[in-house]
Structure 1
């Protein structure tokens, strides 16, 4: 497979640095002392990134964040309990679909896709339904870039005695997280968004007491979060063969994040967002979301009524050297331009200029 000359302007996987890619070119065993030490260091760095205290465990999960979310939904809510899925986009809906697939009792509280989840609606549902043991929601909804109110929802869950599960996949490394203050039962992260690592490794930061209460709940071997935690803590390795090259890439990515600093990285992503938004706005395609509700992960714009289809936009951008991610949209006939990864404001401005040209050109003759 020949290397792609295109630039990833997606919300994940993202453009990685040469150092991250180079780290993945060496064959390693996960059982090597050096790899065990690297995994321990990664756990420490992830815990520091989300400001977790000693009450929390940091568990590596080989695979996608979806797999990690399923492991959490299997591990923490007790049998027979109901999970309240609060959603305003495609990735919140995905949490509900996981509950359906595993037969987990759940309710869905849906809110408008271009506005943050109203915390008071969450409180109203929890006060009326005592069968709900946990609330699960997406902190940054990748399908739109919408930032949802974690502190407010966390405070409601604490006040009403409910567990909180947070999909922070599109938040970690992008916006600040303070687990020690919010006190969720679990937070799910992934390597391939704000951490600027390769895909293939997720993380669960979970309350140790909640994990212990859920021992035996998983009804699965490969998706048993408690067993995964026990094995990693005891041996420093994984229960099953992990993607060792990915581990090396993530270790390098976390070193880069520590060197850059979370504040500086968040500021760079915000500058990337502002640069892209300015170009698109000047061309007549203003973002559907703006700060403070827009996290700097994507700029989302509406397609013109007489313009190309989402698939047509993706194809046209690929011809110009930019890779977009089709589908998984919160609002139909929109397109997302990614602002995270190893990108600069100049990169996102150039990509936005290409996107504006595509949107202004009308529907293509072949694709659309």
Structure 2
């Protein structure tokens, strides 16, 4: 973190910390940026859009100028669908690498798009590996594209995208990355990791507010996408061409959200960019995991796969533990946590991203300890069966 980086401050006006993978706790400066109204076609707002796109492209170190940035209105899922519809040919075939809810959502989206696809489903515990991708591609020459979630926040696992990319391009195929919850904190430089396009959102690691996502893609892929999308509003080529011609969004943009995001981008740069932001989040994770394990909690994942974005913990086995009661107790203490999304065992999640530092994470651990005491839970150890199931599935 640079010496000029903004200091972490408590949420404004007594707001609780959002310990989620986005929306997340934002700075007062980001909130304050939304107090002005903007004309969506005005030159001042066009300048904001241009600067935002430029700053996002700087984060992938595209020294050859091969990529461009296309913002897209809506939630992150809108941008994921736009990427899939625009960059996967209608007569192509997609390999989906899935190990959680968001990989499953990609497959569901491809169903809606009538794109032929196959899935490697790794369950909740393990990442897809390069050798598995290689084997799948060699077995099916019809596969043209591979899609992977960078950080699968339903479990908190950080997938090995560099390894996957090497396998994909060694077999002459193309890679698309859903980096919704990782971009801005985990490196995704195009000189180190090859891909055709990646997608992320305003309200994740760059610490803006919800309202739009963005796709960063190769310009030749954007050109090739003309006429391919199933949707008027989610057509990336049309958005890109119109924006480059006029400087404007095709349809009404979330003006306040975009201006707040530019403020968040400036703070991201001041913190040291991807490296600085990622270091703070990793510190948050380490403090959180050490403290929660000290209370008896156990993480779903082994340390090797723990992301600095969000951590999944097993629910305690003690008969007095009830997640809803634990949630409400944590909220009263100023922390909103996240329920689990696992299908096999009961769990909950605690995010490490947003306007939080190690001191806040120590407060989270203390709040968890106090909440357990209030519930009469002396030990947060998980059910033995949960650990057995984890070992079995991870074998």
> Does the TM-score normalized on the shorter chain lie above 0.5?
yes
Cα separation, 2, equivalents of 1:148 and 1:356: 31
Residue matched to 2:357: 344
Q: Secondary structure at the match of 2:328?
A: helix
Q: Give yes or no for the alignment of 1:286 onto 2:304.
A: no
Cα separation, 2, equivalents of 1:129 and 1:243: 42
Cα separation, 2, equivalents of 1:178 and 1:326: 32
Cα separation, 2, equivalents of 1:120 and 1:138: 17
Residue matched to 1:230: 241
Residue matched to 1:34: 44
Is contact 1:62–1:200 with CA below 8 Å preserved after alignment? yes
Residue matched to 1:6: 16
Is contact 1:285–1:356 with CA below 8 Å preserved after alignment? no
Residue matched to 2:386: none
Q: CA RMSD in A?
A: 1.9
Is contact 2:155–2:341 with CA below 8 Å preserved after alignment? no
Is contact 1:307–1:359 with CA below 8 Å preserved after alignment? no
Once the two structures are TM-superposed, the CA of residue 4 in structure 1 deviates from its matched residue by 6.4
Distance 1:162 1:284, change over 3 A: same
Task: Provide TM-score, normalisation by structure 1.
Answer: 0.93
Is contact 1:62–1:202 with CA below 8 Å preserved after alignment? yes
Is contact 1:304–1:359 with CA below 8 Å preserved after alignment? no
Residue matched to 1:183: 194
Is contact 1:143–1:328 with CA below 8 Å preserved after alignment? yes
Residue matched to 2:366: 353
Is contact 1:85–1:108 with CA below 8 Å preserved after alignment? yes
What are the Cα deviations for residues 169-193 of structure 1, in whole angstroms up to 9, with x where unaligned?
Answer: 1111221111233221110011111
Q: Give yes or no for the alignment of 1:97 onto 2:96.
A: no
Cα separation, 2, equivalents of 1:199 and 1:192: 5
Instruction: Select which of 237, 254, 271 maps to 1:260.
Output: 271
Once the two structures are TM-superposed, the CA of residue 290 in structure 1 deviates from its matched residue by 4.6
Cα separation, 1, equivalents of 2:221 and 2:79: 16
Once the two structures are TM-superposed, the CA of residue 115 in structure 1 deviates from its matched residue by 2.3
Instruction: Select which of 278, 282, 287 maps to 1:275.
Output: 287
Structure 1's unaligned 5+ residue stretches are: 364-368
Cα separation, 2, equivalents of 1:330 and 1:235: 47
Is contact 1:280–1:353 with CA below 8 Å preserved after alignment? no
Is contact 2:97–2:120 with CA below 8 Å preserved after alignment? yes
Cα separation, 1, equivalents of 2:170 and 2:310: 33
What are the Cα deviations for residues 301-346 of structure 1, in whole angstroms up to 9, with x where unaligned?
Answer: 1001235444443333223221123353476311111111010111
In the TM superposition, what are the counterparts of 1:63-78 in structure 2 within 5 Å? 63-78=74-89
Is contact 2:124–2:342 with CA below 8 Å preserved after alignment? no
Once the two structures are TM-superposed, the CA of residue 299 in structure 1 deviates from its matched residue by 2.3
Q: Secondary structure at the match of 1:179?
A: coil
Distance 1:331 1:17, change over 3 A: farther
Is contact 1:21–1:249 with CA below 8 Å preserved after alignment? yes
Distance 1:200 1:136, change over 3 A: same
Task: Provide TM-score, normalisation by structure 2.
Answer: 0.87
Structure 2's unaligned 5+ residue stretches are: 1-11, 378-395
Instruction: Select which of 89, 94, 114 maps to 1:83.
Output: 94
Is contact 1:337–1:352 with CA below 8 Å preserved after alignment? no
